[in-house]
Structure 1
Amino acid sequence: MQNWRIKLSLYLNYFVFAILLNSVGILIQKSINTYHVDELMASSLEAFKDLSIAIVSFLVGSFLPRLGYKKGMLISLGLVFLGCLLMYFGNSFTAVRVLFACVGVSFAVIKVSVYSVIGLLANDDQEHKGILSSIESFFMIGIAVAYVSFPLFYSETDPNAWLNIYLVVAFLIAVSFFILFFADFTLDYEIPGSNLADDFKQMIGLIKRPMVLVFAIAAFMYVMTEQGIMSWLPTFNEKVLHLPEKTSVFMAVILMLSIAGGRYLSSILIKKIYWLTMLVACLVGAGLMVVIVLPQTSNLAVTEINSLADVPIIAYVFPLIGFFLAPIYPLVNSIVLSATEKIFHSPMASLLTFFSAIGGTLGSRLVGYLFKNIGGEKAFYFSLIPMVILIVCLFILNILQKKSKTKITFNASSGH
């Protein structure tokens, strides 16, 4: 196939960025243990990643088509390659911050480029959905790989051995760079976009729509909840459940796999269950997980952990909250996009990325503050507040959707 190099590069790009983006929880734990920063300072890593994504995604739409998607992706890969080398040789908290800033800037360009190029590569609707769904699934695999592979590089005798993973990631980035470099991008692919002022006016105009405003609040609340839990789960496992550092990271993969499983199952069930019923049930289930499971962590006895069989049952149970949270984001995304004219899908995606990034930053920052001031066993209780707000948003969305008189097409398989 003529475009196989382009497609292979898109898959590899997303895989690599899934590893780097979602290693923030691991690096928060490492920053506390290795670089001896406090929880609040460590939580700033989420801001370096997400604010970079938010700012660049807000600005990139107007000039990227003129620059060219291929050039944009090559520059991004080059930047994050340098970030990985800086992390390996720098070995400091400052190097971690710079790495996540590089990753954030690069991912914003990569995501816009990937979504745009998929539209140019696909010959029809079915092919577009197929490519997009499989790339998003590959992203989830990359997240799981991050939580499995990082502990493999930990060493009891060499405290810096874990940094070797950045040489492996840098190698994958270099492979992706050369595959993309030799891929045949024709000039027909480069479609000039509107200018920055027009993009900004479109986005501001969209915010004025009631459905989009509620959508922005819902996206913000969801990502605040998910990122708060995802970023701090390894630290929670270590500080509260008393797991060894390596085991605490490895156990966090359960959360990623439960999110992947929840999204797959919801894509089947949504054909039989009304979306509002499903999502409210999911949020109630997630809330019950917090209320029932977290109290079991209070004054948990410290035991010797020699194998996974010695790990307390709660370390297996609490990450299953991802199963309940999983369907919310893609379904809410689908509801609003389906009620929005196609011409506004691009600024809509920018708004989604912007509010999601801000929500992720505040979520992690807030959990970091709570970890420091009230303790890890109580910190995750904060997630109940955005869950309640989310339920209210869902009921409002349901009313607005019915008023829009637009046929809704659900796409639970798309990720974020």
Structure 2
Amino acid sequence: MSLKQPNITLPLRLTFFIFSMVLNCMGIVILQLSQENIGYDKLGFLESFKDLPIAFISLFAVNFISKIGTKRSIILALSIVGICSLLLPFVQVFWFYKLWFAIIGTCFAIGKICVYGIIRNNITEEKSLAKTMNTVEASFMIGIFVVNVGFGWLIAGEYSEYWKFGFVFISLVSLITIYLFSKIKILEADKNLKTNTISNLISFKQTSIILFFAVIFFIVFTEQSFNSWLPAFYKNHLKVNSFFSIQASSTLALFSYLGRIITANIIQRFSLIKYFIFCLICIISLLSLIFCIQYFGSDNSGILLYLFPIIGFFLSPLYPLINSKMIAQINNQKINTFTSMIVIFSSLGSSVSSILMSVLFENKMLTFYSLYILGAVVILFCLSLFYFRQDHIKN
């Protein structure tokens, strides 16, 4: 079963594209502000101003969306993002970045719940759901690529001091997406069904669901170690300039996009579980190779610039694959609450990862950058095996 309205996929992709740019400009902000004598200890907690509101708002967003409708909720969230992005270039104080990321995080919580709800209300078959999730989530990786390339050009150009005006582009895309949503009809959830958030949460106590949320936590934990901090790692440890740091990390996003698009087109031929485990084994192998090069062969460390992006090819399909597998089992009445829990554990994984990563950078322990991430992936691998085993027993 596919989406009943094919034209709905474009605004859904653009929504993820927009939120990807505003969420993943964190690497750019960290890189630029670190050159303005702002310590990594402060920059590490900047991620929390984005992630903690996502976690806090998500549960409340369920009832909010149910009351005003999915379409109005997405349009409201995109409007706020557009206005905030337009204001950012004109503000120079550090505290505004904290407020800005907090507002962006709140809007993302609303937007993601709406997007997942729309997809789930129109698709029931597991592999079709996985295909659609990978396609829509692929737009998220394009957003990372565009924000890195675009801001990289601005920073490297003669008008580098005006780099923040790149956020005006995000405002324009937000306006276009709002227009597209205003012109289409979206299938809404039944507003007569009352959403009891507390009772829905209690019903998610099964062991397999708890393991699922743990897997989600460590997937995002791993992703964030790359997305926000890879440019700073390139600059501080591999000693490349700011422009190349940003462009090299944008290659990670490009490989991630390819990983999700290819997965969307071939997943019908493979077992979701086997494909998921295969990707994890490839990530562990690459990280082990990177650590060996980094620790034992420092003279060849330049090759790391090319090895890190390849990880994105295998890392990027994990999140939509595991989400689609579980979401296919959740009924429509509980999908918004369940999505809010996904958003919460995702934001916690992102925030904890960034705080711990800031400790590595502050204490100049970047030789252990890949080993730190490898440890997280090994934990993810073990949790995934337990989750799939438990899910198999349940079914």
User: Aligned equivalents of 2:221 and 2:131: distance in 1?
Assistant: 29
Structure that is richer in helix per residue: 2
Q: Is the 8 A contact 2:53 2:102 kept in 1?
A: yes
Q: For 2:228, what is the secondary structure of its paired residue?
A: helix
Identify the residue that residue 190 of structure 2 maps to in structure 1. 191
For 1:319-334, list aligned pairs within 5 A: 319-334=309-324
Identify the residue that residue 18 of structure 2 maps to in structure 1. 16
User: Aligned equivalents of 1:105 and 1:49: distance in 2?
Assistant: 8
Whether 2:383 is the aligned partner of 1:393: answer: yes
**Higher mean displacement: 327-336 or 312-321:** 327-336
Per-residue CA deviation, residues 102-153 of structure 1 (Å, 9 max, x unaligned), is: 2111111122223334567x59979988765543333322222112111121
Structure 2 counterpart of 1:226, which letter?
E
Identify the residue that residue 353 of structure 1 maps to in structure 2. 343
Q: Is the 8 A contact 1:79 1:106 kept in 2?
A: yes
Percent identity reads: 25
User: Aligned equivalents of 1:222 and 1:92: distance in 2?
Assistant: 33
**Higher mean displacement: 170-179 or 215-224:** 170-179
Q: For 2:149, what is the secondary structure of its paired residue?
A: helix
User: Aligned equivalents of 1:265 and 1:155: distance in 2?
Assistant: 32
For 1:41-80, list aligned pairs within 5 A: 41-80=42-81
Identify the residue that residue 246 of structure 2 maps to in structure 1. 249
Q: Is the 8 A contact 2:258 2:313 kept in 1?
A: yes
Q: Is the 8 A contact 1:283 1:391 kept in 2?
A: yes
CA RMSD between the two structures: 3.2
Q: For 1:43, what is the secondary structure of its paired residue?
A: helix
User: Aligned equivalents of 2:270 and 2:175: distance in 1?
Assistant: 45
- Equivalent in 356, 370, 379 of residue 366 of structure 1: 356
**Higher mean displacement: 323-332 or 259-268:** 259-268
Residues 128 and 381 from structure 1, CA distance in 2 versus in 1: closer, same or farther, beyond 3 angstroms?
Answer: closer
Identify the residue that residue 201 of structure 1 maps to in structure 2. 199
Q: CA deviation at 1:295?
A: 4.4
Q: CA deviation at 1:363?
A: 0.8
Residues 190 and 279 from structure 1, CA distance in 2 versus in 1: closer, same or farther, beyond 3 angstroms?
Answer: closer
Q: CA deviation at 1:8?
A: 4.7
Identify the residue that residue 221 of structure 1 maps to in structure 2. 218
Identify the residue that residue 237 of structure 1 maps to in structure 2. 234
Residues 237 and 296 from structure 1, CA distance in 2 versus in 1: closer, same or farther, beyond 3 angstroms?
Answer: same
Q: TM-score, normalised by structure 2?
A: 0.86
Per-residue CA deviation, residues 363-388 of structure 1 (Å, 9 max, x unaligned), is: 11111111111422323321222222
User: Aligned equivalents of 1:133 and 1:49: distance in 2?
Assistant: 24
For 1:5-404, list aligned pairs within 5 A: 8-33=10-35, 35-118=36-119, 134-155=135-156, 157-181=158-182, 183=183, 189=188, 191-192=190-191, 198-206=196-204, 208-267=205-264, 274-297=271-294, 312-404=302-394
Higher RCO, Cα 8 Å, sep 6+: 2
Q: Is the 8 A contact 1:258 1:322 kept in 2?
A: yes
Residues 321 and 8 from structure 1, CA distance in 2 versus in 1: closer, same or farther, beyond 3 angstroms?
Answer: closer
